[in-house]
Structures are given as structure tokens and as C-alpha cells.
């Protein structure tokens, strides 16, 4: 009886491990294929011979993209954008979340501000009117068009606001007795207490800025000013299947395909994310669980 029972559990375990392994490989293999392609010879890649290991290992693609000035220019634009954009995001999130975390007795206008913020979260004018505003302000083709329209992340404001509310009131009162003004209280009491939440928001902003390609398409018309993801979007759009309507065209198209080059560019665009991924992984769970807010 005992033996039989143990064996049955064993089979269930095998099935569970198997399903999870399959799902995990489904996530991993396509990405490994991109990496492998970038290190393979052009011929092997176009022939579709590359699996998850490079075929005819070569660094050709990387040598070539080293000379691609636009790629590195876009890379630098994206780096600057991440730094500027994330700093501005954090500044706005902190300065807005703090007064909003006070109750109506402590901050009389809290209710009105909150209504405005929630309205901005629920409702938007849409793509076209926003484009016209950015245009009228003369921001087109500048890095500010990528940063300012999304500078106030309302969702993050609410996340941090809820986190601030969980900081014990007694700490704030003690600091006030010592004569601290609200900015000092925020600096010395609230910010140190909300480090995990701030780290989460910071990381999400970094990823958001790095991955955004659409602001670039909307607001930047000079290719030289493209951020990296918009640049990648441009080159992979040339990969467009709409131009391939029959097999002959497809074969023709594959001959001139630059799959290895594109793969190398994609790898370069993902490397910064992989570098911060371990830190990211440490924090995003907290962010997500805090995100499903309890009032």
C-alpha cells in the first residue's frame, strides 16, 4: 500500500516537472535562438540551420555593427533618456505622492488634488491631441518629447502614496517636534522608510524608458535622433512580411536578409536589461504585491 502510494505521487511529480520544463523552454529557446543567430554565419542563418547554438561561429555581425554609427548614437540617446527620464519620474512621483498621502485634516486640498489625479488616470485625450500639444510646445525632435509627456506616472504616484501611508505617524510627529519642515520630514523619515518601493518604481521607469519605441515614432522624425528601440523597430519593420506575397519574392528577400546583423543589434539592445535584471527580479515581486493595494 505504502509503496503503491509513493509511486503514484512520483508519476504526478514527473508530469508536473515535465509541463514546467516545457513552458520554461518555450520562454528560453526563442531568445537563445536570437543570440545563436547573432554569432552564426550569414549563410547558416538564412538557411535556417541555426538552433540554439551558433553555426559556423563568427563575430562578423558584431564587427559590422561596431561601425554602425546610428546604432551607437541611438544607444546613447536611450541611455541619456533613461537617466533624465527616470530622475524626472522619481522627482514627480515623490513630490506628488507625499502630500497626497496626508489625510484631509492634515492637507485640506488633498481631496481636490486626488480627484484631478484619478481623472487623469481614468481618462485621456488620446494620441492625436497629445501629439498636437507636444508639437505646439516645440518639443518635436527633442529628447524632451520622449520624457515630458509621461513624466507624471499616476499609477506610480498612487503606489508610493499607499506605501507612505503605511509609515508610522509617530515617526513624523517626532521629527516635527524637532522642528523639521515637511521637506525635511519627507527626506529623513519617509524616503528612507520606503526604499524598496522607490527601488521598484525606479526600475520600472528604467525598463519603461528603455523599451519605449512609440514616442520615438510619434515625436521624432529625424532618424539621427531616434532612441534605440525606435531604431530597432525601423530595421525590423524592413523585415516586414507584407512585402512578401509569394514564395519567389520570399526567397529573393531571404538572400538579401540581414538576419545575423539584426539579431546582433537586438542582442545589444537587450544587454542593458539583462544587466539590471537580477536587481529587478529582487524588487518587482514586492512592487506587484504592494500594487494590488489594500486600503
Residue 226 Cβ, how far from other proteins at the closest point, in Å? 12
Residue 218 Cβ, how far from other proteins at the closest point, in Å? 7
Q: Is 174 in the site for other proteins (CB under 8 A)?
A: no
- Restricted to residues 194-223, the positions that interact with other proteins (CB under 8 A) are 207, 210-214, 218
Q: How many residues bind other proteins (CB under 8 A)?
A: 102
Among 73-81, 132-140, 164-172, 194-202, the segment contacting other proteins (CB under 8 A): 132-140
Residue 213 Cβ, how far from other proteins at the closest point, in Å? 5
- Restricted to residues 90-129, the positions that interact with other proteins (CB under 8 A) are 91-92, 95-96, 98-100, 102, 106-109, 113, 116-118, 120-129
Residue placing its CB nearer to other proteins in the complex, 57 or 113: 113
Counted residue by residue, the chain has a size of 295
**Residue 63 is placed in which grid cell?**
564587427
The residues near 77 (Cβ < 8 Å, ≥ 6 apart) are 143, 225, 226, 227, 228
Task: Give, to the nearest 10 degrees, the angle between helix 259-291 and helix 2-38.
Answer: 130
> Whole-angstrom Cα distance, residue 15 to residue 12?
5
What is the number of other CB atoms lying within 10 angstroms of the CB of residue 142? 15
Q: Which residues of 245-263 are buried (b: 16+ CB within 10 A; e: fewer)?
A: eeeeeeeebeeebbbbbbb
Q: Which of 87, 166, 181, 224 binds other proteins (CB under 8 A)?
A: 181
Residue placing its CB nearer to other proteins in the complex, 20 or 66: 20
> Whole-angstrom Cα distance, residue 32 to residue 27?
9
Determine the 3-state secondary structure of 183 from DSSP: helix
Residue 42 Cβ, how far from other proteins at the closest point, in Å? 15
Q: Is 170 in the site for other proteins (CB under 8 A)?
A: no
Residue entry with cell 514616442:
215
> Whole-angstrom Cα distance, residue 272 to residue 258?
23
- Restricted to residues 264-283, the positions that interact with other proteins (CB under 8 A) are 266, 269-270, 273, 277, 280-281
Residue placing its CB nearer to other proteins in the complex, 193 or 235: 235
Residue 53 Cβ, how far from other proteins at the closest point, in Å? 14
**Binding pattern for the stretch 54-73 against other proteins, x by CB under 8 A and - elsewhere:** --------------------
Residue 81 Cβ, how far from other proteins at the closest point, in Å? 14
**Binding pattern for the stretch 38-57 against other proteins, x by CB under 8 A and - elsewhere:** ----------x---------
Residue placing its CB nearer to other proteins in the complex, 17 or 53: 17
Residue 195 Cβ, how far from other proteins at the closest point, in Å? 20
Residue entry with cell 528603455:
210
Cα distances (angstroms) measured from residue 52 to each of 28, 40, 255: 10, 11, 22
Q: What is the DSSP string of 49-118?
A: --SSS-SS---HHHHHHHT-HHHHHHHHHHHHHHHHHHHHHHHHHHHHHHHHTS-TTTSTTHHHHHHHHH
Amino acid at each position: 500500500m505504502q509503496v503503491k502510494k509513493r509511486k503514484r505521487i512520483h508519476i504526478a511529480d514527473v508530469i508536473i516537472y515535465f509541463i514546467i520544463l516545457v513552458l520554461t523552454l518555450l520562454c528560453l529557446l526563442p531568445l537563445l535562438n536570437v543570440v545563436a543567430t547573432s554569432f552564426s554565419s550569414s549563410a547558416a542563418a538564412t538557411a535556417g540551420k541555426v538552433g540554439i547554438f551558433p553555426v559556423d561561429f563568427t563575430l562578423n555581425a558584431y564587427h559590422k555593427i561596431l561601425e554602425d554609427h546610428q546604432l551607437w548614437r541611438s544607444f546613447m540617446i536611450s541611455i541619456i533618456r533613461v537617466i533624465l527620464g527616470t530622475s524626472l519620474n522619481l522627482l514627480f512621483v515623490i513630490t506628488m505622492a507625499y502630500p497626497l498621502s496626508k489625510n484631509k485634516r492634515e492637507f485640506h486640498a488633498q481631496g481636490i488634488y486626488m480627484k484631478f489625479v484619478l481623472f487623469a488616470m481614468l481618462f485621456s485625450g488620446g494620441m492625436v491631441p497629445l501629439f498636437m500639444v507636444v508639437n505646439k510646445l516645440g518639443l518635436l525632435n527633442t529628447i524632451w518629447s520622449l520624457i515630458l509627456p509621461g513624466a507624471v506616472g499616476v499609477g506610480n504616484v498612487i503606489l508610493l502614496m499607499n506605501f507612505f501611508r503605511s509609515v508610522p505617524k509617530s515617526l513624523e510627529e517626532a521629527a516635527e517636534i524637532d522642528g523639521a519642515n515637511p521637506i525635511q520630514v519627507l527626506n529623513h523619515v519617509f524616503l528612507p522608510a520606503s526604499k524598496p518601493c522607490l527601488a521598484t518604481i525606479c526600475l520600472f521607469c528604467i525598463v519603461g524608458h528603455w523599451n519605449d519605441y512609440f514616442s520615438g515614432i510619434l515625436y521624432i522624425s529625424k532618424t539621427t535622433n531616434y532612441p534605440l528601440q525606435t531604431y530597432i523597430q525601423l530595421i525590423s519593420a524592413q523585415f516586414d512580411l507584407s512585402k512578401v506575397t509569394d514564395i519567389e519574392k520570399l526567397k529573393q528577400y531571404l538572400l538579401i536578409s540581414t538576419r545575423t546583423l539584426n539579431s546582433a543589434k537586438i542582442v545589444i539592445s537587450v544587454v542593458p536589461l539583462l544587466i539590471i535584471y537580477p536587481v529587478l527580479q529582487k524588487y518587482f515581486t514586492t512592487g506587484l504585491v504592494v500594487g494590488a493595494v489594500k486600503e
